[in-house]
Chains A and B, each alone.
Chain A
Amino acid sequence: MDVPTRKLKTAYRLMKTIREFEERMRSEYQQGKLPGFIHIYRNQEAVAVAACLDMTNEDYIASTHRGHGHCIAKGCEIEAMLLELACKEDGLCNGKGGSMHIADMSKGMLGANAIVGGGPPIAAGAALTAKTLGNGAVSMAFIGDGASDQGTVAESLNLAVVLQLPMIFMYENNRYAEFTKSPKPDGRIAERAGAFGMPAEVVDGSDFFAMYDACQQAITRGREGGGPTAIEAVCNRYYGHFEGDPQAYRDQDELAQERAVSDPIPRFLADPRAAALSAESIAEIDAAILSEIDRGFEVTYAAADPTPDKLYTDVYIHYEGRLR
């Protein structure tokens, strides 16, 4: 499969943006400058980027608590995201969502989700919209290996098959559900999804090109009325469940080994199919990313918090009752 240079550049830029964005976030978070919980996506970047590369703003994704990578891959603006993660008035969700509930409807990003397994029914609904309107759009639910056990996921798999929805179940099997190692061997999740009656495959989630190939097929199948697809992307969770989790429950040698072999970015650059990316263009992209992130933080730290009256806005579009 040949990937056009323009797409290679975009893929690299997005993976690297996610990486730099989150590393900077971690550092700011550790200094106490960002509120709430954050969940870092490092080493899973190829999954989100390959998944969203051929999507438009009319296609939908439902994300998870580990959603920064999904946002960036789906096209959310860095500055608006940072403003939201810092819970500022001008953030994507006016500061009311934060990291675990960030959404951008203009980009078809239907929300991170702080309820494990909360997203797939919503993504199925977006797929139902696409099917009903016949507009060729697809909808994707990101699902962790932990969430794969939730009843909502099973219900959504079943509904997607019964209604032949244009939907993709994008499992990210990073082998850890919060602090607990998955007892399932790799591949079991895809096997389970496949048993519902849809094509399901296991893909190396650190290999951008393999992921992109699988995603293109799934998206094309959805757009052409071929129904749902499941992909189990096997990947590595570099950091803890949330930032600050020391991962004492992990074998440190094994972790070091996994971290080294599963970093998707050097693997992407070393692949002959990425040869069209010159060193100059990579350096140019890297510099642009860092300056965009710097500018984002500058704007964010100068930005206003929501005013107290905002507590009462956007509960409803119109409400004839009392909110306080």
Chain B
Amino acid sequence: MKMSIREAINQTLHQEMARDERVIVLGEDVASDQGGVYGITEGLPAKFGVHRVIDTPITESAIVGAAGGAALTGLRPVAELMFVDFLGVCLDQILNQIAKFRYMFGGQARTPVVIRTMIGAGTGTGPQHSQILYPLLAAIPGIKVVTPANAADAKGLLTTAIRDDDPVIFCEHKALYMDECEVPEGEYLLPFGQARTAVQGSDITIVGMSRTAVIAEQAAAQLAQKGVSAEVIDLRTLSPLDESTILESLAKTGRLVVVDESNPYCSMASEIAGLAVEQGFDTLDAPVKRITSPHTPVPATPCLEAEYVPNVARVVTAVEETLAY
């Protein structure tokens, strides 16, 4: 059935709440009639009641921390951190508490919490509502970071996230919510740590994640018209990272462009470029290129925001330069 990412996430929450009564949803506005800013939780309170779909005050440390504490004691909470930018308010509860429970308690703890959060630029929401920040999260041992790029993956990965016994941060790109594709009916799970080869190709590998996977696919379609066969890899999960799919593709094509909406330093693009140099050096026929956002905040004005985010033209140019090396 064809549906948007927004609908796929909503359907998955319905399915998992119906399947397991330990699953609760909490966050700001989640129990409102509108189902939050983008209607993601629409219909949940009517079906499952406000004791399982819980509106909270605008206090992110309490939301995330309580979700962690509830997970530690037997529930399977899905907390909503409305925008990932609000990580600035509640990072301690993720970094020092939830991520470390299992390790610092010597394996006694089980913390099956999912933190759903909106990421990304492209909708004019400005410096404090548009960041990516997933490299910051992927750098923390003890949590998993998931970045779906289409509705089918959103369903498969969110189902897996809710059933996973470790803490998972589920990153939803706000510019992709209305993107539609075919989504499998019924129960659908996708394993973590397995990237998707979105386009098969032989001349060059383009790696993307979340929205940049979509951009990479669009670039590959343009390149195909110019006779370039680009392979596109959508990482799906950043932690765990599917290194072997990247390295196998690189071994086949010899060339690598990574497209990442992060700021450049310590980005996922840097991580993957490092991987290619360290473990794929012999297979490289050209330097690795990183297409990222610049080392600036996200501007509110749409004309500068359009400059900020990676786009198809930049990817096509980078691919052509890499092929010409």
Contacts and interface: CB of A to CB of B under 8 A. Distances in A.
B106 A118 contact: no
B320 interface: no
Interface stretch (B7-15, B49-57, B114-122, B148-156): B49-57
Nearest to A151: B61
B65 A125 contact: yes
Contacts of A114: 96
Given A62-B69, A124-B62, A321-B241, A162 B106 contact: no
Contacts of A158: 57, 59, 62
A103 interface: yes
B42 interface: no
Contact of A118 (B97, B108, B110): B97
Interface in A88-138: 91-97, 101, 103-106, 110-111, 113-115, 118, 120-133
A106 B110 CA distance: 12
Interface stretch (B71-79, B181-189, B246-254, B280-288): B71-79
B199 interface: no
Given A122-B69, A132-B75, A317 B61 contact: no
A314 B166 CA distance: 11
A244 B29 CA distance: 49
Interface in B68-99: 68-75, 77, 92-93, 96-97
A159 B106 contact: no
B51 A132 contact: yes
Contact of A94 (B61, B64, B106, B192): B106
A12 interface: no
A162 B73 contact: no
B57 A155 contact: yes
A93 B106 contact: yes
A181 B56 CA distance: 35
Contact of A122 (B24, B65, B240, B242): B65
B243 A322 contact: yes
Interface string A68-101: 0000000000000000100000011111110001
Contact of A121 (B57, B62, B142): B62
Contacts of B24: 128, 132
Contacts of A132: 24, 51-52, 70, 75
A191 to B, nearest CB: 21
Contact of A105 (B69, B105, B193): B105
A94 B104 CA distance: 8
Contact of B109 (A84, A103, A133, A321): A103
A105 B57 contact: no
Interface in A289-323: 313-323
Interface string A157-185: 01100110000000000000000000000
A159 B191 contact: no
A156 interface: yes
Contacts of B62: 121, 124, 152, 155-156, 158-159
Contacts of B38: none
Given A60-B73, A122-B65, A321-B193, A316 B107 contact: no
B97 A129 contact: no
Nearest to B74: A129
B69 A317 contact: no
Contacts of A319: 144, 166, 193, 240
Contacts of A129: 69-70, 73-75
B239 A314 contact: no
A97 B52 CA distance: 33
Nearest to B243: A322
Contact of A125 (B70, B191, B194): B70
A240 to B, nearest CB: 24
Contact of B66 (A92, A115, A125, A133): A125
Contacts of A91: 106
A149 B52 CA distance: 31
Contact of B239 (A125, A126, A127, A321): A321
B93 A121 contact: yes
A126 to B, nearest CB: 4
Contacts of B101: 103, 111
A315 B93 contact: no
A315 B73 contact: no
Q: Which 7 A-B pairs have the closest CB atoms?
A: A125-B69, A121-B65, A321-B240, A320-B193, A94-B106, A93-B106, A122-B69
14 contacts: A84-B106, A104-B108, A111-B105, A115-B92, A124-B65, A126-B70, A128-B70, A159-B62, A314-B107, A315-B142, A316-B166, A318-B165, A318-B166, A322-B240
Interface of B: 24, 26, 51-52, 54, 56-57, 59, 61-62, 64-75, 77, 92-93, 96-97, 100-110, 141-142, 144, 164-166, 191-194, 239-243
Given A96-B105, A111-B101, 11 more contacts: A60-B73, A91-B106, A121-B64, A121-B69, A122-B69, A125-B73, A128-B26, A128-B70, A151-B61, A163-B54, A316-B102
